[in-house]
């Protein structure tokens, strides 16, 4: 953000609330960069994990879990079902919350659930070039640093993922 949303004065980077932030020198407004919230799923069918090959940047051509951003006013669970449908043409049955992942320099908070396929035919949507199911011990090259942490947490969860939302 370059200009103050309250008085239209140009913002300057100043120390405020523990770090350097855009601050209006006229009215004192402080702009806080809030993270985007994304949601994803480790969905399993016949012992294999559903993955999508990304057809958009960042990490175009690499694989990841079906995921996407939560829209303002949208329930996280509804966003996940929407994203899975858009990316894979599959319907999702949600299981347990697997984890919440964030990195110090990343603008994204990633919320991950477990799940199973409830219907549909696997077909790639516009943001993915392929949809595939892979054994947990033979995953293709993954797109993001958190992907391995997600897989590790899923493996630790084991057979305790019996609840359905």
Residues 150 and 138 in one domain: yes
Please check whether residue 66 is in contact with residue 41, taking contact to mean a CB–CB distance below 8 angstroms: yes
Of 100, 37, 23, the residue nearest 72 (C-alpha): 37
Residues 54 and 9 in one domain: no
> Six-digit token pair at 100?
């919440």
Inside any domain, residue 121: yes
The CA–CA distances, whole Å, from 35 to 58, 109, 134, 138, 153 equal 17, 6, 31, 32, 23
pTM: 0.85
- Domain residues for 55? 36-160
Residues 115 and 144 in one domain: yes
Does residue 104 carry a catalytic annotation? no
The predicted-structure confidence for 132-149, as pLDDT tens digits, reads as follows 999 999 999 999 989 999
Inside any domain, residue 165: no
Catalytic residue among 74, 77, 127, 130: 130
Of the pLDDT bands very low, low, confident and very high (cuts 50, 70, 90), residue 161 is very low
Residues 87 and 149 in one domain: yes
Task: State the CB neighbour count (10 A cutoff) for residue 124.
Answer: 16
């Amino acid at each position: 953000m370059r200009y103050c949303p309250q008085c239209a004065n140009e913002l300057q980077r100043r120390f405020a609330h523990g770090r350097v932030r855009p601050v209006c020198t006229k009215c004192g407004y402080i702009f806080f960069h809030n993270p985007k919230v994304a949601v994803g799923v480790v969905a399993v069918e016949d012992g294999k994990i559903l993955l999508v090959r990304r057809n958009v940047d960042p990490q175009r051509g690499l694989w990841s879990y079906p995921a996407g951003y939560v829209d303002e006013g949208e329930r996280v669970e509804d966003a996940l079902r929407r994203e899975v449908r858009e990316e894979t043409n599959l319907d999702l049955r949600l299981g347990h919350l697997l984890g919440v992942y964030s990195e110090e320099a990343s603008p994204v908070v990633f919320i991950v659930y477990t799940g199973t396929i409830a219907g549909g035919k696997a077909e790639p949507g516009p943001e993915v070039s392929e949809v595939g199911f892979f054994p947990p011990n033979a995953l293709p090259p993954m797109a993001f640093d958190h992907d391995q942490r997600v897989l590790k947490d899923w493996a630790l969860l084991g057979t305790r993922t019996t609840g359905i939302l």
